[in-house]
Amino acid sequence: MAVGTCLGALLLAAACGSSDDAADETSAGTDAGDAGSSALRDATAHDAADAAKDGSSAPDAAKVDAAGDAAPTNGPDAGAATVHFNGRMDLRDSAGPRFDWSGSSVTASFTGTGIAARFGNADTGNGPNRMQVVIDGTPASGELELTDGTDVTYTLASGLAAGAHTVEVYKRTEGYYGAVQFLGFQAEGTGDTGWALTLSNAPTRHLEIIGDSISAGYGMLSTSIYCSGSEYLDDEDAYLAYGLDTARELSATAVSIAWSGKGVYRNNDHTTYNTIPTYYPLTLASDTVDYDFAQQVDAVVVNLGTNDFTAYDSDPGQENFEDAYVGLVTTVRSHYPDAYILLVAGPMVNNNSPFSGALDLLKQYLDDIVSTRQQAGDTQIGDLQVAIQDCSKEQCGCDSHPNVSRQQTMADSVAAALKSAKGW
């Protein structure tokens, strides 16, 4: 059973609940342009633990009509707000959508001098979810750290000039850290209603990123390859990773179906189960409900293979790797018949590491996969090798992952490839 798509404008009464419903209120920034959380960080180290899959069934999703109007609730901050949701949203709870994939976002415009948001966040034991707040197109310094609670109000910005503003909130952390539920925006009014308004400039181009830790932005904020404890969580940032950066270059939206340590055939922990193809059909990484793929995307970027090759520091096997990858791409094509699919050889595999000739082999396999698909009549597919990083000559992030600069370089390459393929 599938959960409804929520990429685009959805009208939700839940987007404007009364502040009296909040269980707590946390300030995430008191000045305009400062929405960072000061909450203490005590996250555990990130490992590649798998989401529990108990096989339990779930009720069919409650669909939200993108063209309908929701009656406002009572209260000074009430209103039928048009909120744009980007990403895979679980709509089964009428109180508000749940999401957990990297880069999922909630966006609206509002009139007032400040804005708050209500979120529910269940502690998975892996560490708190982190969000990036953007006010009027400017990212806030720091991040919004969500606390454990079913309904907590966070001040995103205050002291803004009276008038119209935009607010965007992105999930910086991957699905490993659990799902977040959006319960509503609450604007500080200035004689106006203070209600959120329709966004007239929402992007019409949509990207989907499929990948591993590189796509999730794992460790990219670190200035050292040596990380421990909470540093793994502190230094992850999907908002600045190449996927969302590419989207910004192309005036598009993007969400990353990414999980650190995962591969297409085998994972970094050497297992061949619960790989990315297992999670790709799901609405939430932390649940078993299928996504409905109703919202079409213009392009899909697949950046996998790093963990397949680093497991045992050996060749995963041509047949194993290509069969699993072709299977994933075939699934993607079945859901997105008109999308361009770009297969990427990432920056961490080279011909010296994880083993001699690794990059040449990965590139050969990707070329074979593209050829196989083209022979099957799929002409909207290609591959790309991004520049290889060298941590002996440049600064790298945790566990030798690409840092902010390298992620930006990747975004430039991917954006250029998509512009060429799509004629953008």
Going along the chain from its start, the domains and CATH numbers come out as 2-51+65-197 (2.60.120.260), 205-422 (3.40.50.1110)
Q: Which residues of 206-219 are buried (b: 16+ CB within 10 A; e: fewer)?
A: bbbbbbbbbbbbbb
Looking at the chain, the number of H-run helices and the number of E-run strands are 8, 20
pLDDT tens for the chain, 424 residues long, are 555 444 333 333 333 333 333 334 444 433 433 333 322 222 222 333 333 333 333 323 222 222 222 222 222 233 334 788 999 999 999 999 999 999 999 998 888 899 999 999 987 888 899 999 999 999 999 899 999 999 999 999 999 998 889 999 999 999 999 999 999 998 886 444 444 555 667 789 999 999 999 999 999 999 999 999 989 999 999 999 999 999 999 999 999 999 999 999 999 999 999 999 999 999 999 999 999 999 999 999 999 999 999 988 999 999 999 999 999 999 999 999 999 999 999 999 999 999 999 999 999 999 999 999 999 999 999 999 999 999 988 899 999 999 999 999 999 999 999 999 999 9
Helix (H) or strand (E) holding 242: helix 242-249
Please state whether 317 falls in left (phi above 0), alpha (psi between -120 and 50) or beta.
left
417 sits in which H/E element? helix 404-422
Tokens 């999730």: give the residue: 216
CA distance 14 to 262: 35
**pTM score of the predicted model:** 0.83
With CA atoms as reference, report the closest residue to 342 among 213, 210, 222: 210
Residue 404's CB: how many other CB atoms inside 10 A? 18
pLDDT tens-place string over residues 100-142:
999 999 998 888 899 999 999 987 888 899 999 999 999 999 8
11, 69 contact by CB (below 8 A): yes
Round to whole Å and give the CA distance between 270 and 364.
22
Give bridge partners of residue 11 from the DSSP assignment. Answer: 82
CA–CA distance, 107 with 170 (Å, rounded to integer): 9
Rounded to 5 degrees, what are φ and ψ at 20? -65, -20
CA angle 411, 90, 151 (to 5 degrees): 100
Q: Facing residues of 211 across strands?
A: 258, 303
Q: How would you label 18-48 residue by residue, b for 16+ Cβ within 10 Å and e otherwise?
A: eeeebeeebebbeebbbbebebeeebeebeb
Query: For strand 205-211 and strand 252-258, is the pairing parallel, antiparallel, or unpaired?
Result: parallel
Cα torsion angle, 159, 161, 164, 169, sign: negative
Structure tokens at 273: 């189960």
Tens digit of pLDDT for each residue in 9-51?
333 333 333 333 333 444 443 343 333 332 222 222 233 333 3
* Residue at token pair 């404007």: 16
Q: How many CA atoms lie within 13 A of 213 on its CB side?
A: 28
Calpha distance 166→253 (Å, rounded): 16
